[in-house]
Amino acid sequence: MFRNKVDEKRTLSSVTQCEELCLTQPTMCKTAQYDMDKSICEIFSAPPLLGSDTQKTSTPPDIFLTYTTL
C-alpha cells in the first residue's frame, strides 16, 4: 500500500496519539499508519498509493489514516 519513504516513525501507545501527531503536522502529514501490534506510528508526507484510486477524478482526502494489526 505504501511505497513512499517514512518521514517520521514513533512508538506511541494508541491510535489516537498517532492521529493527534498527524493533525499537529498538517503540512508534513498526509498519511499516518499505526501498527497496533508494534505500537508504531509512521508519518508520510505523501498520500498513499491506492491502485485504481489514482484513476478517479475526485480529490483525495487531505489526511489518510490507516491501522494495521495481525
* Dist CA 70 CA 49 (whole Å): 21
Nearest to 66 by CA among 8, 7, 56, 43: 43
- pLDDT of 57 reads 45
- pLDDT of 67 reads 60
Per residue in 12-70, pLDDT (tens digit) is 999 999 999 999 988 888 889 999 889 999 999 987 776 554 444 445 555 566 665 54
- Please report, for the chain, the start and end positions of each structural domain, with discontinuous segments joined by +: 1-48
- pLDDT of 54 reads 46
